[in-house]
Chains A and B, each alone.
Chain A
Amino acid sequence: GQSLEQPSEVTAVEGAIVQINCTYQTSGFYGLSWYQQHDGGAPTFLSYNALDGLEETGRFSSFLSRSDSYGYLLLQELQMKDSASYFCAVRDGGNQGGKLIFGQGTELSVKP
């Protein structure tokens, strides 16, 4: 079956850099996505990697290594508003369409 592992909690200070790791096991691979969810809110899409390497979007970057079944989300110049839960997700390899499997989420706390 499909499974994803990510740390449950990460703490960092304002202005710092933090990396949230995600390892996955899938029967097929169609890309790794990252979502952000503030407390009580809806998840919002951050990034997607289909191929190996680094994708940069402003202060956020996402990395993928398909040979290692591993990816990470890198947040730079941390701000208080970055305190949220971050989820990695993969497409279900056994499905023709769009079923995503989400990790349990990493709660990021940014301290002043």
Chain B
Amino acid sequence: DGGITQSPKYLFRKEGQNVTLSCEQNLNHDAMYWYRQDPGQGLRLIYYSQIVNDFQKGDIAEGYSVSREKKESFPLTVTSAQKNPTAFYLCASTPAAAYNEQFFGPGTRLTVL
């Protein structure tokens, strides 16, 4: 089955530790995105990538980093510089011709203790 996988579903980390969230897609989509969602809030864009080896900052990129070495993979690292990292993180992808229809993974709920 084609889709987007994110792992793990729940993640706990101690304050001050970097953590990497995985996002893989087998839809052959060109563009991939990372969003952050806080309780009762909308989706805020962290980073996005339209092609391999290229990515752009979204609205809340501070304290996060990404890489896009393969078309299928777009991992997100939450660094210790992110002041309030506890949130629900969603990865999405789209084909180049249909940017308005994003396909989302199941999300990773990160809790920093």
Interface pair B99/A97, CB less than 8 Å apart? yes
Q: What's the least CB distance linking A91 to chain B, in Å?
A: 6
Contact with B along A68-112 (1 / 0, CB 8 A): 000000000000000000010101000001111111110100000
Interface string of B48-70 (1 = CB under 8 A from A): 10100000101000000000000
CB distance from B39 to the nearest CB of A (A): 10
- B100:A102 contact, CB within 8 angstroms: no
Given known pairs A99-B45, A99-B58, A102-B43, the reply for A45 and B103 (CB within 8 Å) is: yes
Q: Is the CB of A43 within 8 A of B99?
A: no
B106 on interface, CB distance cutoff 8 Å? yes
A31 CB contacts on chain B under 8 angstroms: 100
A97, B31: Cβ atoms under 8 Å?
yes
Q: Nearest chain B CB to A3's CB is how many angstroms away?
A: 11
Q: How far is the CB of B56 from chain A (nearest CB, A)?
A: 8
Q: Known contacts A42-B107, A98-B99; is A103 also within 8 Å of B50 by CB? A: no
Chain A 38-59, CB-CB to B under 8 Å as 1, else 0, gives 0001111100101000000000
Q: Is the CB of A97 within 8 A of B50?
A: yes
For window 21-58 of chain B, which residues contact chain A by CB distance below 8 Å? 31, 33, 40-45, 48, 50, 56, 58
CB <8 Å contact, B104 and A43: yes
| Total contacting residues, chain B, CB less than 8 A | 25
CB <8 Å contact, A42 and B90: yes
- B56 contacts across to A, CB distance below 8 A: 99
**B96 proximity list for chain A (CB < 8 A):** 97-98
B105 near A: Cβ within 8 Å? Answer: yes
- In the complex, chain A residues whose CB is within 8 Å of the CB of B40: 105, 107
Determine the residue in chain B with the shortest Cβ distance to A87. B42
Would A100 and B31 count as touching, CB distance under 8 A?
no
Closest to B48 in A: A99
Which residues from 76 to 113 on chain B have a C-beta closer than 8 Å to any C-beta of chain A? 90, 92, 94, 96, 99-107
- Sort A-B residue pairs by CB-CB distance and give the 4 closest, nearest first: A98-B99, A42-B104, A104-B42, A102-B43
